[in-house]
Every structure is written in structure tokens, then in C-alpha cells.
Amino acid sequence: MTLIKSISGIRGTIGGAVGENLTPIDAVKFASAYGVWLKQQRHKEQYKVVVGRDARLSGKMIQNLVMNTLVGLGIDVVDVGLSTTPTVEIAVPMEHADGGIILTASHNPKQWNALKLLNKDGEFLDADEGAKILEIAESDTMSFADVDNLGNITKNKAYIDLHIIEVLDLDLVNVKAIEEERFRVVVDGVNSTGGIAIPLLLERLGVDVIKIHCNPNGEFPHNPEPLKEHLTDLSEAVKEHKADFGIVVDPDVDRLAFMDENGDMFGEEYTLVACADYVLSRTPGNTVSNMSSTRALKDITEKHGGIYEASAVGEVNVVKLMKKNKVVIGGEGNGGIIYPASHYGRDALVGVALFLSLLADKKMKVSELRKSYPNYFMGKKKIELTPGLDVDGILNTIEERYAKENLTTIDGVKIDFAESWVHLRKSNTEPIIRIYTEAKSQVEADALGDKFIDEILDISRR
């Protein structure tokens, strides 16, 4: 079906033709290229890589291929097994490893998988590093270890627990106040590793946990992207159990969304807004999110006396700008919380703990908390790419048409109007053009998205 190579990793569908999908041969090729690149960077006698996976059906197969490829390169592997993306990220520096690989296609459906590649700090590779690995993958210069110098695999299943301990030890996580509130929370783990990690964290915080879809068997009970239309089971469970709120994560637990006590979405965009509100109230500073994220973060940041700036889409781009601006919290509007006091990676466990600390401090219902924030509405639409569609040409034409507006072109084209904005860009993770909009009402946001879809289609026909 498709194989996508980007700063988000090597992502594709399982099965099919080599080079067009994520086949075993492709998994070995790109794991080999990563291992060769890693050895070129570090110049050591011994190398170590942490490898973990989400629960999707192809995970065990891909993980075994990847780990044994690294072994063939003479690299030692720490197998953390079923894990989360942020857990692997914190495991890399804890293990003093040279890098890490997470086998997950994040929010993509079950037929997808991917190799997400980390550096020695447990952070995603940048565009230049990714390009070098792709270059190595297409070369014939890869050399493997002889029989006396093969790597070894060791298993360590303790890292989810270690990750939870690290979260609970954060200065702004008010464990005592959370325990005193005795929250009741429903968790939808989409039958992946969030069903392991999130309930364990909540139980350590004294929360009464009701679990749905928390069996990590990889059989996703609904589309794994944590959007309102996919979460009817969670909404019904929150109301049935009279819970204080609901939590849903994506399969690798780096995206986080909440549902209020009425079974209504808190708004995936507002996960970061709420967590930033709490952090900024205690550690004043600046924030960063990507260009496709809500204006509400800018409003909240300025309310607390800080400065907000937007980066290009992609976690590595957000992190780069966060470090440059020395921000206290940042992330992505898709529910990705990046809290530097923990680590530079999107982390749903950190987000849950900060959100609970905020609720314990505010002593208000989740629906009341949502009403306390600036109210924007976002539309998220997409156009499937077809062979021959000139995306760059289309975006250049849009840029020319709206040259008199407030334009940003560091990542596709973003047009900021007085009361709304639209962001058009080619996805890093799917063969689509994304059309994100935001306005003062859902009707206006959707209408703006439809308007630009019509424009794109009209341009493509010329």
C-alpha cells in the first residue's frame, strides 16, 4: 500500500511488495542503516540500543527483525518489550544507550507499523540525521559483525514502572492533593500499551480506575486516533460510572485526550492548554507548539506573562524551538505534552499527572475547567494524494493568491486571518494533504476548510 520515509520515521503498511510497504526486508534494511549510522556517530567499542513496541499485531515480528539486525551489526539490545514511546525515550539515557527504536505507527490503523528512531538523548532524529540514514539504506556499503562480535539481547520489563516513578517525582505533580480528591476516571487504552501504563499511574495516585479496551492485544476496538467520533464507548462509560472524567491515548501513548464528566470531549487541542496553564501558574516562562495548534495556548501564555512561538509540525521541530526559547512547557495540539522537567518528548503519562494536579488545585469539574479557557473551534480535513498531484505547485499557487494576508511558509502554508486561520501541508505520516482550520465557531472552521479543499481541487484540475 505505502511506505513513508520522513522525520517521523520509517512508516508503512505490513505485507505487499518490497520497497512499497513495510515488509520484513524493509524493516531489516532500515534497521541496518540506523545501526550503521549510529556507529558512525559514536566511534566506540560497544554499542547499545533500547527497543520497545506498542501492542499492534505486527509488533512482535517487526521487533524481532529489528533487534536481530542490530545484533548482526554487533550492537547490544535492551528489549523493553511492550512499552510506550515516552517510556523508551526515558529508558535510553537511563541505560546510557547510544539510541533507541520504538516500533509503532502511533495513531495509524492496525495494518500500519513504523520504526521511530531516537538519538543518545532519547530524542527523535532531526531531518539531516534522518536523511543520512535513508542515504545509507540505499547504499551498498553496510558491513556486519563477524561471529565473534555479534551483539546480545537483554530483556528489561521494568521501564514502565520506572517511568511512573519518574513522573511521580516531578516537582509539580502534587501526589498528596490528587490522592485526597479520590477521583474516579475511565481509561480507554485502545487495546495497546496505554492500557498497561495509564491505569498503573492512576492507581499509584489513588484514583479509582475503570478500564475499557485496556487488553494489550493489538485488536484496536475503534480507529486509534483519539477523536470524538471514535470514542462513543468512552463517553457512555464515563456517564454510566458517574466518573469525574475519561482518558484516551493513542497506541504508543504520546497523545492524550480527555472527556468531561458529561461524556463530552474536553478537546484534544486543550490538553496542552490545560497542562500549560498549570505549569505556567507555578513556573512562569514561555511556550511553543506547532503551527497547526490552537491559538488558545498563545492566549494562556500571554495571560501568565510569557511569550508563545509556533514551530513547524513534527515533534523534532517543536523540541528544537523549545530548547532555543528555553520554554517551560510545549507540545503539539494533537494532545502531545512535552515537559522539559521530565524529558523532551510527548508524554501522556506526564500529561495525566499534570492535569490531575491542576484539577486538584482548581477543585472544579472538567466541564467547568474547559469553559474557563478561550473558546476556539478547530476543523481537521484531508485530501488523499493521487499519483501526479503536484503538492508543492498547489501550495505555491495558494501562497500567491493570499500574499497580502499574514502568511507563514516554514511548513506548507499557514494563513492567519483576523478571526481564524488555515494551515495546509503535506503529512509526514500519511499520503495526504492536511487542511487544519480554527475559528470562533465549528461552522466557520468547517466552512473555511471546505473552501480551501475546493480551491486545492480547482488548482489541481488546471
* Digit-coded pLDDT (tens) for 101-145: 999 999 899 999 999 999 999 999 998 999 999 999 999 889 999
pLDDT confidence of residue 9: 80
Q: Could you tell me which residues come within 8 angstroms of residue 390 by beta carbon, excluding any fewer than 6 positions away? A: 460
Give pLDDT, residue 8.
Answer: 66
- Predicted confidence (pLDDT) at residue 82 exceeds the cutoff of 80: yes
C-alpha cell at 201: 499511574
d(CA 101, CA 164): 20
CA distance 230 to 218: 16
Asked whether residue 147 carries a pLDDT value surpassing 70, the answer given is: yes
- Over residues 320-333, the pLDDT tens digits come to 999 999 999 999 99
Model confidence at 5: pLDDT above 90: no
What's the pLDDT score for residue 462?
74
Q: What is the mean pLDDT of the chain?
A: 94
Give 1's pLDDT tier (boundaries 50, 70, 90). Answer: low
Q: Residue 94: what residue type? A: M
Mean pLDDT of 295-304: 96
Q: Is 427 a catalytic residue?
A: no
Q: What does R_g of the chain's alpha carbons equal in angstroms?
A: 22
| pLDDT on residue 396 | 93
CA atoms of 369 and 296, how far apart (whole Å): 14
Contacts made by residues 212-216, CB under 8 angstroms, sequence distance 24+: 212/186, 212/187, 212/188, 212/237, 213/188, 213/189, 214/187, 214/188, 214/189, 215/191, 216/55, 216/82, 216/189, 216/191, 216/192
With vertex at residue 419, the alpha carbon angle to CA 415 and CA 421, rounded to the nearest 5 degrees, is 25
Highest average pLDDT, of 308-317, 345-354, 448-457, comes from 345-354
The mean per-residue pLDDT over the stretch 262-267 comes to 95
pTM: 0.93
Amino acid 384: pLDDT = 85
H, E, C per residue of the chain: CCEEEECCEEEEEECCCECCEECHHHHHHHHHHHHHHHHHHHCCCCCEEEEEECCCCCHHHHHHHHHHHHHHCCCEEEEEEECCHHHHHHHHHHCCCCEEEEECCCCCCCCEEEEEEECCCCCECCHHHHHHHHHHHCCCCCCCCCHHHCCCEEECCCHHHHHHHHHHCCCCCCHHHHHHHCCEEEEECCCCCHHHHHHHHHHHCCCEEEEECCCCCCCCCCCCCCCHHHCHHHHHHHHHCCCCEEEEECCCCCCEEEECCCCCECCHHHHHHHHHHHHHHHCCCCEEEECCCCCHHHHHHHHCCCCEEEECCCHHHHHHHHHHHCCCEEEECCCEEEECCCECCCCHHHHHHHHHHHHHHHCCCHHHHHHCCCCCEEEEEEEECCCCCCHHHHHHHHHHHCCCCEEECCCCEEEECCCCEEEEEECCCCCEEEEEEEECCHHHHHHHHHHHHHHHHHHHHC
CA angle in degrees (0–180, nearest 5) for 411-346-353: 140
Mean pLDDT of 5-14: 83
**Residue whose C-alpha is closest to residue 116's, from 39, 209, 8:** 8
pLDDT band at 7 (very low <50, low <70, confident <90, very high): low
For the segment 89-104, what is each residue's pLDDT rounded down to a tens digit?
A: 999 999 999 999 999 9
pLDDT of 306 > 80? The answer is yes
Q: How far apart are CA 237 and CA 211, in angstroms?
A: 9
pLDDT at 431: 75
User: For 152-211, what is each residue's pLDDT tens digit?
Assistant: 999 999 999 999 999 999 999 999 999 999 999 999 999 999 999 999 999 999 999 999
CB 310 within 8 A of CB 332: no
State the Cα–Cα distance between residues 25 and 38, nearest whole angstrom: 20
Query: Is pLDDT above 70 for 293?
Result: yes
Query: What grid cell was written down for 337?
Result: 505534552
Look at residues 132, 135, 199, 119 and name the one whose alpha carbon lies nearest to residue 161: 199
Res. 294: pLDDT tops 80? yes
What pLDDT digit, counting tens, does each position of 356-395 carry?
999 999 999 999 999 999 999 999 899 887 777 788 898 9
Average pLDDT over residues 39-54: 92
Burial degree of 33 (CB within 10 A; 0-12, 13-18, 19+): buried
In the set 32, 83, 106, 289, the catalytic residue is 106
**Lookup: cell for 123:** 530524542
Domains along the chain with CATH numbers: 3-156 (3.40.120.10), 162-371 (3.40.120.10), 377-461 (3.30.310.50)
